[in-house]
Each structure stands twice: as C-alpha cells, then as structure tokens.
Amino acid sequence: MLSPQDVMQLLQSLIWLLAGVGVFIVGMNFMSAALEKSAGSGMKKLLEKISNNRLSGVGIGAGVTAIIQSSSATSVMVIGLVNAGVMTLMQATPIIMGANIGTTITGVLVALKNDYFDMLMYLLAFAGVMMGFFKNEKIKLAGSLCCGLGLIFVGLEVMSSEQAFGNPLVETIFTDIFSVIDFPLLLILVGAVFTALLQSSSAATGIVITMVGTGVLPLDLALFIILGANIGTCVTALLASVGANANSKRVALIHFTFNVIGTVAFTAIIWLFRQPIVNLLVSMIPGDDPMSLQMRVSVFHVIFNVTTTLLLLPFVKYLVKYSCLVIKDKKDEREVLSLKYVDDRLLSTPSIALMQVKKEMDYMLALVEENTTLSFMAMDTGSSEHSERIRKNEETIDFTNSALTKFLIRLSGDVEQSDERIIGSYFHVLNDLERIGDHAENFHEIGMEMLGKKISFSDMARGEIASMRDSILQMFAISKDAFENLNREPLPALTSLEDGVDGMKKELIASHFARLAEGNCNVDVSPYFSSVIIGLERVADHLVNVGYSIVNPTGSQKDGN
C-alpha cells in the first residue's frame, strides 16, 4: 500500500517525465521544421531524381527523412505524391524503405547523450533563442535549428533526472511492471501503441533509449519495444491514406507490411536467441555508463532497419502486387475533377508543395494553350468536332484555378518569406490563365454561333484574324518558356509582339469598318469580328503578365479582362 508521500513522489515524477517528453517533442518539431525549410531545395533535388532504380529510391527516402527527421512525414509526403500521380508504387516502395533507415539518425543523436555533450547542447539551445531576435531570416532559421536540437537534450535530461526516472520508487514500479509484461508480443504491442499515441517513432525511440540509459528498462526488453515502435509509426501513414486513391492506400499498406515482416523476423530471432544477441550488443559496445547502454539500443535500431531493407528490397515487385491484390481499384468510381500534381498531404512539406504547385500551373498553362488553339480551329473550319474536348478542358481550368487558389492560401502561412513572393505571383498567374481560358471558350462560342447562323468571315477578315492569331501563338510559346523554365531571355520579344498586337487591333478594327462602309462585309458578322479582335488583344495582355511573373512577382503588368 502506497503512503500519501509515495503517491506525491510518484505524481511529481510523472509530471517531470511528461515535461521531459513535451520538451523533447517540441525540440524535435523545431529542429525538423528548421531543417525542412533550410534544406527545401535539397529535398527538391532529391525528389527530382526519382527513378525506377531501387537503390536510388532507398537513398532518396533515407536522405529526405534525415533532412526532416521524421519517417512518418516522409511517408505522408510520398502518399501525397502518389495520390497526385507524380510517383508510381514501384518508385514509392523503396523510398518508404529508405525512410525507415533515415529515421535512425535521431536514435544515434539521443544515444550520444553525456554530461559534456549535454552542456554543449544547452548552450546551443540558448544561442538558438538569442538568434531568434535577429531580423535576418537565415540567422533566425539557424537559431530555430540550434534551439530545437538543444531542446531535445534538455527534454532527455529532464526525463533521466532524479526527479523522473531517478526516483527509487519509480525504478521499483517500472521493474515490477516489466516483470509482469516480460513477454515479447506484449512488449511489441506496448511499443506500437506508445508510438501511435505520440505519432513519432523518433520520440518513442528516444524515450526507450533514455529508459535503458537510466537502468529502469533492461536491454533485452527494450529491443522488443523498439520493434513495436516501427509498427506504430505506420499509423500516421495509414491515417493519411484515408480518403486518398487506391494507390495511396497501397503505399500505406506496403509501409505497414514492410515493418510487420521485419518485426516478425527479428522477433523470432531475438525470442530464440535473446541472451546471445544481448551479449553481442554488449561486446560491440562495452561499458556500463549510460552512453554505452543507450548506444546499444541505437545500434540495434539501425541494424534492424538496414537489414530489413536489404532483405525485402529484391521483393519490391511482389510487395506491389500484394498491395494491388488486397486493395482493388473501384471500377464504378465516377470521374471526379482533381488536381493532377497537388495533394493536401503535401502541406506538411511546404517546399515540396510549392514545387508541385508549379507543375500544376504548367499543366494548366498547357490546357489553356490547347483550348485557344482548338477554338481557333473551330472558327476556321466552322466545325464542332472539338467542342467536347474544349468543354472538358475549360472545366479542368476553372477547377484548377479554384482548387489551387485555396491550396495556396493554406500553404502561404507555412512558407519562408522568400517563397511568399512566389505565392503572390502564382495568384496573379492563376487569374491570368483562367481569363485566357474564358477568352478561348468565347472564341469557340463565336465559331458555333456563326455555324448555327450559317454566316462566316470574309477571306480578308479571316486573313487578318489569322495574322493576329499567329502573333498570339508565338506569345504563348514565349510565355510558356519563360514561366516553365524561368527563362528571362525571350521576354523583350514577348513585349515587342504584344506591342504589335496592340497596333494590329487598331488597324484591323479600322479596316473592318472601312469594309462595312464600302459594303464589302456582312453586317451580321461585324460584332463577332470585333469580339475576336478585342479578345485576342486581351489574351496578349494576359500572356505578358504570365511571362513577366518570373521577374515581377508582386503584381501584373497589364490589366486585361
């Protein structure tokens, strides 16, 4: 029976332990956010190298996870990319495997904990806080990184202090608890549930390593809890796949299956050869000091993930087939408009999300150009052959404009200051592209109305429209090159063409009214001709805005309607 004093001591120890866990997780979040922002371009370069090479995929997964310090975040990001159609299952599977290797770095950092290292980390945390008062964004970002790294070790110190695990009563209670649940499957369940609750295998692993270092958790039991943590970390990915397409759900299933297979294999081995494996780890890292005790758990964590990856990497194709057998495609699923390259799950990694927004806008620009070309063809031939294609493209253009605008609004609060200007320019470009799409639709409607009324432009009028149209198509090519490839060189030519279009508008309208006065033009065609010429001039204005958005991200150049 515990006395009131014992209960109070236990309560104090629990508060210290929870405080330590809280500081540790805050430090992890600080550090991962700072690493992600500072290495955003690095992650972009890694993801741009995505290929069907399995070893390359493992390297990308390990690299991205090492950058953002979270295998769960990497898994969610991969699910987002698969859901957006950017990555195939065959490409995603090795990346998921690599993520498990990348996450072991946190455990190694935690295992390095000792008095001298701790003092350095505390100073680093203080320096990071002070750096946060600077106005320079790079210094503030470096401060966040230092502060996060320092707070991780502050949290570990609080957890391992006398007030937490150092209390003899707490040690006795934990000893009694683990003597009761000294059964591998129960320990794995504890690790899985604990990690699922924390939503971070790095945090769970860090706490287990600390408990081993303080002596409240035997090494042989800690190994099973670490195995369970690798299953618990899949919960985040499984939750992220809810509401996603079939392939995204398959990624989450593959992640879960991969970790379960590794856990089952290692559980069987450790269960049969528990003491020899413990002896091997002790011989690899001798010593009874806390750092040696902690390093043994960390080394096991690395060995588990690297070995599991090496064993299952040759069977990627079979893991993909298995996931396709379990999760079937919905044959009766109706076609629903959705973004091609962007997924809400990418909001957790702003630098990658912004890269995908650019791809989506490149695609939108291609659709706008296609609709403009098809509309010209409809006017030239008086045919409704491409009407359905134009209608579907316009639906996609309108949807993309609305959906991307909402996505950018949500993204804008999490990006760096330098990226805020880019997002500002994207808002303007989206508006310009949507307006060009409306003009293209209007050109098509003009063609269909004239077809219905059985009227057509004169040969001279058709030639004048063609000359203006050719200039517009040249402007499309230049604007696309400038926006998609961030190419400034052809921008003067874009301005020159736009000036020419402005001049043509005045000349052609004057020529048209002259023909009307001479009786050489059907008066019923007059409003259509004027609408086409005015529309083409406005398209030119919008194309200038799109092209110059790469050098003027704060606003538009022209006011087109």
pLDDT in tens, 503-523: 999 888 888 788 777 776 777
Question: Does 390 score more than 60 pLDDT?
Answer: yes
Question: 37-41, 201-205, 450-454: lowest mean pLDDT where?
Answer: 37-41
Contacts of 253 (CB under 8 A, 6+ apart): 323, 326, 327
Question: Does 252 score more than 70 pLDDT?
Answer: yes
Question: Does 152 score more than 50 pLDDT?
Answer: yes
The domain segmentation of the chain, as residue ranges, is: 4-326, 344-548
Going by C-alpha positions, the residue among 560, 538, 537, 556 that lies closest to residue 548 is: 556
Give the residue, 229 or 69, on which the prediction is more confident: 229
Question: Does 89 score more than 80 pLDDT?
Answer: yes
Going by C-alpha positions, the residue among 67, 79, 87 that lies closest to residue 256 is: 79
- Interatomic CA distance for residues 165 and 270, integer angstroms: 27
Pick the most confident of 27-31, 155-159, 264-268. Answer: 264-268
Other CB atoms within 10 A of residue 511 CB = 15
The tokens describing 301, both together, are 């964590």
pTM score, whole prediction? 0.68
Q: What is the pLDDT of residues 427-440, one digit of tens each?
A: 999 999 999 999 99
- Residue 555: what pLDDT? 47
Going by C-alpha positions, the residue among 426, 251, 413 that lies closest to residue 356 is: 426
Question: Does 364 score more than 90 pLDDT?
Answer: yes
- Interatomic CA distance for residues 270 and 49, integer angstroms: 38
CATH architecture, range 344-548: Up-down Bundle (1.20)
**According to the 3-state scheme, what is the secondary structure of 33-101?**
HHHHHHCHHHHHHHHHCCCCCHHHHHHHHHHHHHHHCCHHHHHHHHHHHHHCCCCCHHHHHHHHHHHHH
- Residue 73: what pLDDT? 72
- Binned at pLDDT 50, 70 and 90, residue 413 comes out as confident
- Residue 367: what pLDDT? 94
Q: What is the pLDDT of residues 267-305, one digit of tens each?
A: 999 999 989 999 999 999 988 887 888 899 999 999 999
- Binned at pLDDT 50, 70 and 90, residue 157 comes out as confident
Please state, rounded to an integer, the average pLDDT across all residues of the chain: 83
Going by C-alpha positions, the residue among 9, 8, 77 that lies closest to residue 43 is: 77
Query: What is the chain's alpha carbon radius of gyration, rounded to the nearest angstrom?
Result: 31
- Residue 107: what pLDDT? 79
- Residue 49: what pLDDT? 65
- Binned at pLDDT 50, 70 and 90, residue 541 comes out as very high
